[in-house]
Amino acid sequence: MFLNIREFSYGQIKQLIEQENDHRLRLLYRFEFFMIVCYYFRCIAIIIMLRWPDILPLYRFDNLALFVWVYRNIYNEFVVFILSLMAILCLLGLREFYLCDKQTFVFRAIYDLMVRNFENYRKCLKNPIAIKDSIELRRQIYLRQRMTVNGLIIPMSIFSRYCWLKAWLDSWIEIDFFRLDRQMFIKNPMKIFDKTPVRTRVYLVQCIIIQNGFFFIFHLFALFIMCCLYVFFVIEFKTNENVVQSFRAWFIVLIDVFLGIFVAGMILLQISLLTICVATTASLHHCCDFNDLSKKFRLLSQQLCLKQNYSNKNSLQLRSIYFEHIRLSGYIIRGDREKWSRASFQFIMLGIPFNVCFVCFLIFGHPGPIEQILYLFFTVMHLLITIFPSASGAHVHKCMIQIRSHIPKTIPYIRNIRLKLQYDDFYNRFMYGKPCCFTFGVIGAITYSTLVQVSIAYVSIFTMVASFYMKNFIQ
């Protein structure tokens, strides 16, 4: 569990990679993994207890099992099964992000995009006084523009505030001109993605800043829900005197509920947010780079078609675009084969039943108001963790193949035979080859058509689970 929630997306990756050999962190991750494993087997035991109470009367020895047994009309096998799926998701996230080798290419690429680039941004920031002067200068320009317009009824004091706010927003949108020493930033490139344009690097910085603010608010909201849930369960335990009968049992129950709600809940939340920030940041970089290459190639193609004047400079530009596109595609394939293909397949195969069960219980289970908020929160959270990485991967594929439409009309003007053959092979791979993009394991490439197929599968699974739930758990 990462405690510096103000800089979660940047700080979590920095801690994971730079403090990989810290034995205290490794011990903490293993303890969390062991705790989630215990909760998983506990959920399985409670399901067996609810199904066959004579075979495994766990309620005689465990206060939490006794609580579930007393309220078994509310917390039935279906609800406990959802908790067991949640535990498996936690175990998968801990294994993929925390209990793994951090020296692989995948983590070095993530570190390059999310930590090294952000640290270079901080090193290259201008003096705060210079930033303030730049904002004031832009505000004065907006005010002068207002003076040239007649008939405005907005008071000058209000319009002056509006101009300052607009100039301040411009300072973040045009961050490389307002807040950065541009030349110094260019001289401090990333290591793996050393040819990434400055504008893309600025977008990555802005993305991380927005993620840090959004995730900080999300952490506070989740902590509020966890506190409400903790108080709710403590009150429920207190109202039923048959569940807790001694001070020692009360102490165990309080610790148990705290670990289950706060620690396990925070682990699941942070794994979800880490998945979102890694997927969106990497996809933003790849999309911006592929769009930049496609734009360069389109302009070069238009120039060749209009002027029909091929030079050595054009040959160098075409060769640079070709090799950079191949290099970025190779990075995607390597990262996908190393980690993301297996991880995506596991999360999608476990995540769809998990989300379907939550939605079924929300629609047909008639939970209480607090439980509705809790289940709705988990459903929305899981939809985000599923939609963001999947849609990001599909958009990377869309940006990657943008260059395809401009290749056929450019090939006739290329005079270098080798380069012409390379682009011809490049086009054939786009048209008839296997997609060079992220994959869902054996399901296939992550494209928009694949996402439509997964959505259809989701609807069919929802229909089956809903019919099973209504048949077995609704009286």
List the one residue out of 388, 109, 352, 152 whose CA is nearest residue 160: 152
d(C-alpha 328, C-alpha 320), whole Å: 12
What average pLDDT does this structure show over 18-35?
Answer: 87
Confidence of residue 159 (pLDDT cuts 50, 70, 90): confident
Lowest mean pLDDT among 269-278, 320-329, 355-364, 446-455: 355-364
Averaged confidence pLDDT in the chain: 82
CA distances from 264 to 3, 9, 76, 162, 256 (A): 14, 19, 21, 45, 11
The residues with which 125 forms a beta bridge, in sequence order, are 180
pLDDT tier at 148, thresholds 50, 70, 90: low
User: For 161-168, what is the mean pLDDT?
Assistant: 81
What's the whole-number mean pLDDT along residues 295-312?
80
- The residue that leads in pLDDT, 205 or 68, is 205
Tell me which residue has tokens 């109202």. 239
Q: Is the pLDDT of residue 464 over 80?
A: yes
Number of H helices and E strands in the chain, helices first, is 19, 0
Please tell me the total number of residues recorded for the chain in this structure: 475
Q: Which residue has the higher pLDDT, 151 or 441?
A: 441
Return the pLDDT at 154: 66
* pTM for this prediction: 0.85
pLDDT digits (tens, 9 = 90+) for 253-267: 777 777 777 888 888
pLDDT at 222 over 60: yes
Span 327-355, average pLDDT: 85
Say how far apart CA 282 and CA 200 lie, in whole Å: 11
Angle ∠(58,366,49) on CA atoms, nearest 5 = 10
Region 184-200 average pLDDT: 87
Q: Is the confidence at residue 1, as pLDDT, over 70?
A: no
pLDDT: is 146 or 34 the higher one?
A: 34
